[in-house]
Amino acid sequence: MRYIVTGADGQLGGRVSSNMLNEVSGDQLIFTCPESIFNIIWKVP
């Protein structure tokens, strides 16, 4: 399974990204930095 982490350049998104890297391997993560204030983790089949 792959995960998309949005807002990875912000404070909350950065912490979420760091925590996700502790849980799953980096090749399962896709990081994006939209202009939105929302930080969302999506599961990608």
Q: Is pLDDT of 37 > 70?
A: no
Question: Cα separations (Å) of 3 from 22, 31?
Answer: 13, 9
> In this structure, are residues 8 and 41 in contact, taking their beta carbons and an 8 Å threshold?
no
Q: How many CA atoms lie within 13 A of 17 on its CB side?
A: 19
Task: For residue 25, give both structure tokens.
Answer: 């391997």
This model's pTM is above 0.75: no
Looking at the structure of the chain, the number of domains it has is 1
How far is residue 3's CA from residue 24's CA, in Å, rounded to a whole number? 9
Alpha-carbon torsion (1, 34, 36, 14), positive or negative:
positive
Q: Domain limits at 14?
A: 2-44
Least confident of 3-7, 23-27, 28-32: 3-7
